[in-house]
Amino acid sequence: MSLVAFQISKKGEVITESKYRLLNARANHRKQVREMLAQAIVHKTLDMERRRQAEIRNRLDKIAKIEMVKRVRVSLYLIFISYSFVPCHNVCLCALR
């Protein structure tokens, strides 16, 4: 004679051990799925934030490069202007014009 274990539900119903194990396995699976989804959401959010910051960094680098080119152009222009008003002595800088 084998003993069959029974559980009693919250509603007071009798549940067989196999049914109890099945319900318990389902609950555990549901919990694992929720945890995986939460983890996936966090990873996706972090990934999106990294991409956003990389895009901002690229924009700032591009702006910095443009500003550097402007500064170099202005300094070269000022140097050219200053040399163009120097009177010609030994070296003629008029050829640079």
pLDDT tens across 1-17, in order?
455 677 887 888 888 88
**Contacts for 94 with CB less than 8 Å, ≥ 6 apart:** 88
CA distance 7 to 17: 7
The predicted pLDDT at position 1 comes to: 45
Tell me, what's the pLDDT at 61? 98
49-72 pLDDT per residue, tens: 999 999 999 999 999 999 999 999
**85 pLDDT band (50/70/90 cuts)?**
low
Between residues 11 and 35, which one has the greater pLDDT? 35
Rounded to whole angstroms, how far apart are CA atoms 51 and 35? Answer: 24
Under a CB-based contact definition with an 8 Å cutoff, are residues 63 and 50 in contact?
no
